[in-house]
Chains A and B, each alone.
Chain A
Amino acid sequence: MPMNTRRLLRGIGIVCALGLGATACGSDEGGSSQKQVSAENIQAALKKGGTLTVWAWEPTLKQVVADFEKKYPAVDVKVANVGTNSDAYTALSNAISAKKGVPDVAQIEYYALGQYALTKGLDDLAPYGADKLAGTYSPGPWNSVTSGKAVYALPMDAGPMAMFYNKKVFDKHKVKVPATWDEYVEAARALQKADPKVYIANDTGDAGMATSMLWQAGSRPYTVDGTKVKIDFSDAGARKYTETWQKLLDEKLLAPVTGWTDAWYKGLGDGSLATLTTGAWMPANFTTGVKNASGDWRAAPLPQWTAGDKASAENGGSALALPALGKNKELAYAFTEFANAGEGVQARIKGGAFPATTADLQSDAFQNAEFPYFGGQKANKIFAESAANVADDWSYLPYQVYANSIFNNTAGKAYISKTTLAQGLKSWQDASVKYGTEQGFTVEK
């Protein structure tokens, strides 16, 4: 595992040493020049109280805030949903550019953290004591938020992947639930044959999904070493993915329905979309968004590239970070820890969130929880196993937000024209290389 986030963040130190960043460089080699903040300081701050601004879209935080304010009555937490993912990053970037109105705590998805860490937009949480939480989280999410000794955020939720499938549809057409991707293609054909209205899944090209698929297939397209970046979508893992997916595309076995739209919810409800491979946070969305299909769906491990394997990947998931220009640092950290490592975690699990904390993942109560929606299935066992099997050497680009925004301009062509997925990924690669070069990265193709 040559490349990982550790290397990425060590690179940040190099940028700072050269004095290139516009903002001051606080930390070096993951070590921190920030002042240590003792637990006593934090307790004192909590007692003194104040107002805390949190930018987040995570719905379960509402309960956490209520609990937190109850425990620390002097603190007033204001949660603002400033938009979901890319809207939120726009808002955060704008506020940082203006050096004004920056929130004290911000929700950032794992794939987007690199950019803010690189540009020194976030505080290192290690001096607050976050480094001691290393064992608290499962390796995938923890790796995504750390760099050497520096901790740039605390994981809020995780998205170890699983395959959700509509059991009723599989039973009705007597199709075997796939355990490998080859079987998945077979099942797709069988379902289409049995009923042309039934698709194995929807896919109109989604950067997050594609990178997760590559991750599981063992591909490591992004190699990041400080300001040196390498992008390559032609390794063996990528080929496995593109070859299999090309079959699904060529035979029109994927429904051209975009995720999270009204039509998509409809498809999940009426049996026309037979599976959904996504992060383990999905059950909450099933329960609230696809009520009419309650009992139809089940969870299963992600199909494998080699029969008998247990490879998995993360899809989605986000963390809470402290923007460097935010205020009330002690309070901000106290809230972040409360929400993501302390009592808040239980409240959030109750609200349907999928935790990143090992203790909760391993607890009997969690593992034995029955999901009425999934016909009483103890689905968390599958999710927890997936979480443990996520390869932790994956790395995103330090400008993944931009790269993802152009995925459909480039790789998306594979979904609507004769361009193959491999060619599509190549043009995604070229466009990402071009941007990286323009932004001053040393990009190796």
Chain B
Amino acid sequence: MTTPQPPATAERSPARPSAKRDRRSWTGWGFIGPFAAVFALVFLAPIGYSVYLSLFRDQLIGGTTFVGLDNYQQALQDDQFWASLGRVSAFLAVQVPVMLLIALFVALALDSGRLYGKDFFRISIFLPYAVPAVVATLMWGFMYGSQFGLVGDINDALGVSLPDPLSTELVLASIGNIVTWEFVGYNMLIFYSALRVIPHSLYEAAEIDGAGQFRIVTAIKLPAIRGALVIATIFSIIGSFQLFNEPVILRDLARNAITTDYTPNFYTYSLSFDGQQHNYSATVAIVMGLITMVIAYVVQLRGMRKGA
């Protein structure tokens, strides 16, 4: 059955004589060594350094002092941090399902063979993923502008007054829209290619049994790509919790509605870059990393249990 957890599959391989395993244990490290070394350099060492930093406080006046876990205590009581976490949680609850459902729908549609111009559809939907952030700013600046942009033009042309997408109330949804726009294609491709390799004998058997298309989707296709769904969900959760680029981009246009503590990642950024509070920034990042890990782990466990 499908699982998102490779070790489970890896362990299917037959047990080997222990002498050989010892030999392999070194061989295995030989192959993963390069990845591990670079990973240690660019991820683990900075994280270790951050953990170290999080135990200190550096002031413009007064220099650096050891403060133990004070920064953590401060983070746990930091309203700005919790508000930002609440915001990305709300975002996560709405945007991720919407995005994944659209991606899934398109993937199923492409896979069904019932579309005209399938190849065109596939690349078109993937394209937004390739657009660099700088351009996205200009583009969405135009789309969302209620003064001179598309929204404004529509208002003028139709004599309506659409709500301002950059207002405090709507801006989170507007960010969600951009993220969805960017990543529908990415997730669609993951799902689509998962669908492509389901043995078609299964469909044929089902058709002979009188199952309709909808039944085939729910009974065969979806269970078969559960692994892809779980992976996509985990990476989307991490992505949502680390939401950064899009609010930063949109802030150029809505700088009052999007505060510099809008998301946890934005908050750590402004602490570190605007405020030179590297120690506290590191602390918030570590707390955030732990929270994200726990949630990703829970999702993975649930996905595994259902899939097993």
Contact = CB atoms under 8 A, between A and B. Distances in A.
Direct A–B contact in complex, judged by CB atoms less than 8 Å apart: yes
**Among B60, B138, B273, B277, residue most surrounded by chain A Cβ atoms (within 10 Å):** B60
B141 A261 contact: yes
A409 B63 contact: no
Given A93-B276, A406-B274, A409-B259, A15 B252 contact: no
By DSSP majority rule, is chain B's interface helix, strand, loop, or mixed? Answer: loop
Interface stretch (B44-52, B143-151, B192-200): B143-151
Interface size classification for chain A: 35 or more
Given A256-B147, A439-B59, A261 B252 contact: yes
A288 interface: no
Contact of B274 (A262, A401, A416): A401
A204 B255 contact: yes
A417 interface: yes
A205 B149 contact: no
A267 B142 contact: no
Given A204-B255, A204-B256, A416-B168, A405 B270 contact: yes
A245 interface: no
A185 interface: no
Contacts of B147: 255-257, 263, 267
Given A255-B147, A261-B141, A402-B275, A440 B61 contact: yes
Given A93-B276, A402-B275, A416-B168, A441 B259 contact: no
A266 B261 CA distance: 30
A262 B62 contact: no
B216 interface: no
Interface size classification for chain B: 20 to 34
A20 B64 CA distance: 10
B60 A263 contact: no
A256 B151 CA distance: 14
Contacts, number: 87
Interface string A56-73: 000000000000000000
A263 B145 contact: yes
A153 to B, nearest CB: 19
A119 B60 contact: yes
A297 B296 CA distance: 58
B142 A22 contact: no
A405 B64 CA distance: 24
A52 B83 CA distance: 46
A435 B146 CA distance: 35
Given A263-B141, A405-B270, A20 B259 contact: no
Contacts of A90: 273
Nearest to A263: B148
23 contacts: A86-B273, A115-B60, A204-B256, A205-B256, A256-B146, A256-B147, A261-B141, A261-B252, A262-B141, A266-B148, A402-B274, A405-B270, A408-B256, A408-B260, A412-B256, A413-B256, A416-B167, A416-B256, A439-B59, A439-B61, A440-B61, A440-B62, A441-B60
- 10 closest A-B pairs by CB: A440-B61, A412-B256, A440-B62, A405-B274, A440-B59, A409-B259, A439-B60, A263-B148, A408-B255, A416-B256
